[in-house]
């Protein structure tokens, strides 16, 4: 496969006006190649950057655009769940002209989530327009169908404990089906999805040890407070939007009839339902702030380029604090989050407008069973229509709709890219720059017990080889893919968005390099694609000393 960085830009289907207040920067392709690691995680479809073209190319029986491949939640829909084209045009007008957002036609009580943040810029950090990601898979593609099969399996397996994956027969069935799918891009070993690789991320360290990162389990010290990471979870077996008459009002923007069904007992994260609820209510950067505090509290070593580590001359009489110390890091790991959100919100609203998985499930339902005896012939790849995951879902729930973990389904903003994943990429990049990634994890690896009320020591494979950086990559993947586990995002949303967040963080680190008085400092980190870079006063350079443009 050709290097994705060599692909030409795909023009946005609508002209974008230059914004004079935005600083001029050279546009950078987002198509970071997949990681060269000990497991395969390689897209088989060559994508360009920009919109995938579904918005202009998909048409209904009347030959007019029907926008079925795009996000339309919160707008009015017909009885089949197809968006009102005139209402969708009000959205297109707003994002094209960057005005008249108050004239978008809504269908129910829920409002759209902050489209205009994609138009915001910062004095520090990249202009969102200068950062590009690969186009999302097309509605009719094998890749989108493969991602949907994974989502249906995630929904079916939400209550299976992560520690039982190795022996659970349904997990084995899911791994077998995913292994045989065309264009499935999840991690594999020897060409096969296994219980050790299933539902994991694609970066170095993601396959080592337990599925769940240790940073989501260990106690967190907040100054004089100690936070025990037993979380408020929801009851098992409770899924939503599995009936069409429940699903359709939610697409129109109605509020759900019920809320979460909470478990009264706090528990450590045990399964996909638990971590799905974590990312339902989390502050977007909290997992990485927690990871930072865990590493600081347990004496994880800083990167060797920190100027307050011997033998650097400044370390003879000083320690780091406001620069190159704990307060600097704690603020920086959260500072990048809002920049990451602005970057991905540009992609969501002004470039891609990808439909959410629950809407894709609606297309499957209408195609296979119809509404009021009438079916629609939507262009959906047969590998989802013929999948074991879909058959099991219908047998369990009586419909082909994707079971959602949240009563309200997805948020009211498009799927691609993913906010949680972009923030994950940005925050984890800061942490990898700051700490010695290759250092052994400074806490004992543990996993929840059977009911999630306590932690027990992990003694399985790789128990003694977990590293600071590997578990940072893993926590980024955990949080991003947890949104998939809840049914509100796709795998490709995660993969491209962590690259996007990484570039936001690298831009900021590069921008700040002139702000420090210290001499001869540097940050080194291994990027999500496996390449190593160093940030210093000279800029960002690779291992051969060549300048790196982010």
Residue positions annotated with a catalytic role: 413, 420
Give which of 153, 96, 9 is closest to 353, Cα–Cα. 96
Backbone φ, ψ for residue 134 (5° rounding)? -60, 150
How far apart are alpha carbons 476 and 204 in whole angstroms?
Answer: 11
What tokens does 260 get? 């979460």
Q: How many helices (H) and strands (E) does the chain have?
A: 14, 7
Give which of 340, 357, 345 is closest to 490, Cα–Cα. 357
Would you say 115 and 11 are in contact if contact means Cβ atoms under 8 Å apart? no
What tokens does 383 get? 């590998």
**Residue found by looking up tokens 């999302």 in the block:** 136
Burial class (CB within 10 angstroms; exposed 0-12, middle 13-18, buried 19+) of 529:
middle
Alpha helices in 282-325, H assignment, sequence order? 286-297
Give which of 506, 502, 494, 503 is closest to 535, Cα–Cα. 506
Q: Are strands 523-526 and 220-222 parallel, antiparallel or unpaired?
A: unpaired
**Residue found by looking up tokens 């269908």 in the block:** 107
CA dihedral 499, 412, 154, 180 (to 10 degrees): -60
Sign, Cα dihedral of 48, 133, 120, 96: positive
How far apart are alpha carbons 92 and 87 in whole angstroms?
Answer: 9
Q: How far is CA 379 from CA 57, 58, 146, in A?
A: 12, 9, 15
CA-based Rg of the chain, rounded to a whole angstrom?
A: 23
How far apart are alpha carbons 449 and 455 in whole angstroms?
Answer: 6
Percentages (nearest 5) of helix, strand, coil residues in the chain: 40, 10, 50
Q: 46: which residues sit within 8 A by CB, 6+ positions away?
A: 1, 2, 4, 7
Would you say 96 and 106 are in contact if contact means Cβ atoms under 8 Å apart? no
Q: How far is CA 271 from CA 282, 358, 457, 519, in A?
A: 17, 21, 17, 47
Strand, coil or helix: what is 40?
Answer: strand
What tokens does 273 get? 């339902």
């Amino acid at each position: 496969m050709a290097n994705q960085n060599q692909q030409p830009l795909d023009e946005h289907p609508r002209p974008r006006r230059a914004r004079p207040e935005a600083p001029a920067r050279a546009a950078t392709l987002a198509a970071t190649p997949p990681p060269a690691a000990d497991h395969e995680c390689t897209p088989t479809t060559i994508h360009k950057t920009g919109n995938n073209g579904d918005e202009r190319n998909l048409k209904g029986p009347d030959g007019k655009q029907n926008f079925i491949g795009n996000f339309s939640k919160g707008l009015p829909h017909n009885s089949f769940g197809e968006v009102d084209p005139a209402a969708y045009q009000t959205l297109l007008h707003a994002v094209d002209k960057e005005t008249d957002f108050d004239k978008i036609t809504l269908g129910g009580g829920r409002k759209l989530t902050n489209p205009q943040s994609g138009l915001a810029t910062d004095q520090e950090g990249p202009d969102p327009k200068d950062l590009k990601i690969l186009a999302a898979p097309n509605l009719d593609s094998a890749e989108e169908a493969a991602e949907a099969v994974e989502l249906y399996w995630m929904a079916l397996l939400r209550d299976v404990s992560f520690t039982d994956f190795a022996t659970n027969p349904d997990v084995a069935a899911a791994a077998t089906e995913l292994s045989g799918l065309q264009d499935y891009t999840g991690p594999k070993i020897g060409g096969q999805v296994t219980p050790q690789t299933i539902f994991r991320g694609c970066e170095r360290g993601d396959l080592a040890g337990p599925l769940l990162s240790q940073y989501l389990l260990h106690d967190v010290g907040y100054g004089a407070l100690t936070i025990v990471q037993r979380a408020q979870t929801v009851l098992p077996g409770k899924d939503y939007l599995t009936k069409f008459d429940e699903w359709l009002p939610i697409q129109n923007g109605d509020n759900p009839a019920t809320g979460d069904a909470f478990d009264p007992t706090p528990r450590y994260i045990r399964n996909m339902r638990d971590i799905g609820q974590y990312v339902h209510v989390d502050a977007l950067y909290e997992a990485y702030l927690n990871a930072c505090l865990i590493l600081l509290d347990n004496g994880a070593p800083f990167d060797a380029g920190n100027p307050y580590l011997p033998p650097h001359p400044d370390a003879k009489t000083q320690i780091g604090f406001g620069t190159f110390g704990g307060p600097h890091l704690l603020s920086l790991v959260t500072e990048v989050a809002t920049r990451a959100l602005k970057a991905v919100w540009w992609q969501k609203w002004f470039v891609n407008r990808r439909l959410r998985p629950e809407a894709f499930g609606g297309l499957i339902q209408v195609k296979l069973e119809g509404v009021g005896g009438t079916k629609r012939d939507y262009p959906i790849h047969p590998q989802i229509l013929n999948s074991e995951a879909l058959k099991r879902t219908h047998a369990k729930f009586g419909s082909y709709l994707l079971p959602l973990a949240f009563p309200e389904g997805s948020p009211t903003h498009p799927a691609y890219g993913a906010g949680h994943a972009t923030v994950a990429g940005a925050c984890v990049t800061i942490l990898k720059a700051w700490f010695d990634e290759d250092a052994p994890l400074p806490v004992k690896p543990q996993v929840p017990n059977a009911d999630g009320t306590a932690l027990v020591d992990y003694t399985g494979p790789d128990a003694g080889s977990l590293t600071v950086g590997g578990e940072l990559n893993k926590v980024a993947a955990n949080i991003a893919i947890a949104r998939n586990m809840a049914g509100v995002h796709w795998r490709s949303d995660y993969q491209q968005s962590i690259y996007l967040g990484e570039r936001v963080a690298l831009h900021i680190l590069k921008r700040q390099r002139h702000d420090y008085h210290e001499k001869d400092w540097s940050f080194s980190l291994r990027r999500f694609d496996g390449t190593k870079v160093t940030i210093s006063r000279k800029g960002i350079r690779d291992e051969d000393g060549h300048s790196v443009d982010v």
